[in-house]
Amino acid sequence: MSNKKVPESTISRLFLYLREITELAKINIKTISSSELGDRTNLGDAQVRKDLGYFGQFGVTGAGYSIADLKKSLEKILGKDKKWNVALIGTGHLGTALLAYSGFGRHELDIVAAFDADAKKIGKKFGDITVRPISELEKLTKEKNITLSIIAVPAAEAQGVAETIIKAGIECILNFAPVSLNVPEGVKVRNVDFSRELEILSYFAANKGNGRETLK
């Protein structure tokens, strides 16, 4: 196991590998080679081995990786052996879609509280979650041991909400608002920005056939 800094892109790919072998485990496949896994994720064999190499030696020379073992190791590395409680701020169209999104449940990531600034939305129920005023965020964070947060509010409010989140003691933010958040050192933000992604695609559409389509 190397001591070098692990690129964030490696972490991101590890989740991809884990996702893939979880599917394979379901259909009872026992082993996989780096080249097979590289093909399935469109990433190549060397990338797979390099990424895993940051965390140890998981394979058997000549035979590949045991799916059961690799799955267990990746889950440990990626923190999937623990449960993570998530606060959702903003219960508009997107927020409620996220509440309904089954994908999170499967992954030991659990939205345990929802907040909104709009008085009309307070008290609304989504499954077993009741929408609360943002003023209660700090209290709930302590009570429910919340470590992750999702910002799904309009752009204009996102920075303020981020500050409230940080004051409440949460240090990880998934931001859906299309703004660049300013946060202190130590706070980790990841942005999900649909319209920008779609815009980037439109850039490629605009530049098809003028020599830029090979852009990578």
Partner DNA sequence: CGAAGTCTGTGAAAAATATCACAAAGTATC
Partner DNA sequence: GATACTTTGTGATATTTTTCACAGACTTCG
Binding site for DNA (CB under 7 A): 1-2, 5, 7-10, 33-35, 43-47, 49-50, 52-53, 57-65, 216
Q: Which of the 8 DSSP states describes residue 95?
A: H
Nearest to 163 by CA among 138, 145, 193: 138
Residue 101 binds which entry of DNA, a second copy, none, CB below 5-8 Å type-dependent:
a second copy
Residue 46 binds which entry of DNA, a second copy, none, CB below 5-8 Å type-dependent:
DNA
Residue 120 binds which entry of DNA, a second copy, none, CB below 5-8 Å type-dependent:
none
65 and 59 Cβ atoms separated by less than 8 Å:
yes
Selected from 6, 25, 122, 129, the binder of a second copy by CB under 8 A is 6
Residue 75 binds which entry of DNA, a second copy, none, CB below 5-8 Å type-dependent:
none
55 and 4 Cβ atoms separated by less than 8 Å:
no
Q: Which is nearer to DNA, 34 or 141 (by Cβ)? A: 34
Q: Kindly state the smallest distance separating residue 96's Cβ from a second copy, in Å.
A: 7
- Angstrom CA distances, 61 to 34, 45, 49, 66, 101, stand at 11, 14, 12, 11, 40
Window 113-142: residues binding a second copy (CB under 8 A):
none
Rg (CA), the chain: 20
